[in-house]
Amino acid sequence: MSMDAAPASGTTAAIRPTVRPRPWVAPILFELAARGHSPDDPAVRRFWTAIVGPSAVADLLRLTAAAVAGRRVREPLRLAHLAAEGLVHRSGSIVLVRPTIPYLSPAQLRRMKPTLRVEYNDLIAS
């Protein structure tokens, strides 16, 4: 077993040949009139986190902010997961995101714990 320490900061170390930076993507807003939650709404973090997880929600919010600002970002790690849930659409280096985060679908609601489901339904009804 090797007990070598990590290289000190500021020194050069060999980089694995398999290490590649993630490609850049350009988020663009679409479905501007779609209904949903504002990205800064606490409901997005509370309920979408239960569906896709905290890192995917952070990636979604980062993509939305980049689209509003008109800037590119490195490809998020959870982009495929966001696309599978229908939160983004990807075509090459273009990622389409909504300016609002959509309401949860009935199928997504069924995947939540009953207490969260009731809380979400109460929020939407009010």
15 lies in some domain: no
16 lies in some domain: no
The pLDDT of residue 59: 97
9 lies in some domain: no
Number of domains in the chain: 1
As a whole number, mean pLDDT of residues 65-92 equals: 95
β-pair type (24-29, 94-97): parallel
Which of 27-36, 64-73, 111-120 bottoms out in mean pLDDT, i.e. has the lowest?
A: 27-36
Kindly tell me if the per-residue pLDDT of 50 is higher than 90: yes
39 lies in some domain: yes
Task: Say which amino acid occupies 49.
Answer: T
The pLDDT of residue 20: 82
The parent domain of residue 60 ranges over: 24-125
6 lies in some domain: no
Distance, CA of 37 to CA of 100 (rounded, Å): 5
17 lies in some domain: no
64 lies in some domain: yes
Distance, CA of 46 to CA of 32 (rounded, Å): 23
Return the closest-CA partner of residue 66 out of 75, 54, 56. Answer: 75
Tell whether pTM > 0.85: no
More reliable by pLDDT, 125 or 27:
27
Sheet of 73-74: strand order equals 73-74, 24-29, 94-97, 88-91
5 lies in some domain: no
* Residues 97-123: tens digit of each pLDDT: 999 999 999 999 999 999 999 999 999
